[in-house]
Amino acid sequence: MTLEVSALKGMYPAFPTPFTADGAIDTERLHALVDTLIADGATGLVPVGGTGEYTALSPAERTLVVRATVEAARGRVPVVAGVVSPGYAEALDAGQAFVDAGAAALLLVTPFYVTPSDAGVRAYFQRYRDAAGVPLLLYDIPARTRYATPPATIASMAKEDGTIIGMKACNTDLNAFARTVALAGKDMAILSGDDLLYVHHVLLGAVGGILTSASLLPKAWARIHASAANGDAATALREHAMLAPMLDAIFSETNPGPAKKAFELLGDGLGPVRLPLVEPAAATVARMKEALAGLPKGWLP
């Protein structure tokens, strides 16, 4: 499946990797999850990546997850595999394996640990795009990488370099987000990567989102996205406020621990997390139970 910019819109859930009780990848559960997400309106799928516990998986396991996702999707929606390796060689090995497994595009994080320059990021993505041979989405998440890609650099990557067709925007600076939309919104698909700021991002010009909680509550997010995309700011903000207690609870600890626990609370568990992640604290679980109880029944799986 060739991924075009026009297909990058709506909900692309970033979903946790299901594990069996003994910690192995549960491909049967993964297939069922993919079917549910597509049935509930997902326009694309984002396996592995941060929510999928990329750093806790072996290279072979990462590829297994991508291949199983592609098989389960059966061409109904594109699969964009998340690559969150810190440097070029490892990232390219992973990306090429994901492409061989059927991924239509790659979501590539900016290099981290070694803090890059703007010129270094542009060169990194240029070389990677030439080598990988598939469309790339920029994953800009300065809270994890200590590097925020400047709007002008993003615009240059999309327009001058031709290295990216979209991005997952996780920079919480709304001014920078608005500037990115102004400079590059006509040349690439800007997707929100922040569940808490999603409505604001769409109202400013995002065309969809790559969200963790969209894998847990796809019906709720379909409603919120529809309201925001149609320009009904009042309804979108009201619906998002109804979801806020759940989002606050889920993101009070590092995911996907809370997200997996929430799946379990809804009666459809995805198994444990791998170290260094651990089960969420009892107080977090209590907050999630209370938040779930307060959601409209039609929003729940």
pLDDT averaged over 10-residue windows placed end to end, the chain, 301 residues: 90 98 96 96 96 98 98 98 98 98 98 96 98 97 97 98 98 98 98 97 97 96 94 96 97 97 95 96 98 94 86
pLDDT at 2: 75
DSSP state of 23: S
198 is catalytic: no
pLDDT at 301: 86
Q: Do 9 and 43 form a contact (C-beta atoms < 8 A)? A: yes
Tokens 């396991």 sit on residue:
61
Total Cβ atoms within 10 A of residue 176? 18
Q: Do 245 and 290 form a contact (C-beta atoms < 8 A)? A: yes
State the catalytic residue, choosing from 12, 124, 128, 139. 139
128 is catalytic: no
Total Cβ atoms within 10 A of residue 127? 13
93: tokens are: 């090995």
What's the rounded Cα separation, in Å, for the pair 91 and 69?
20
What's the rounded Cα separation, in Å, for the pair 281 and 289?
13
State the catalytic residue, choosing from 9, 168, 260, 261. 168
CATH top-level class of 5-230? alpha beta
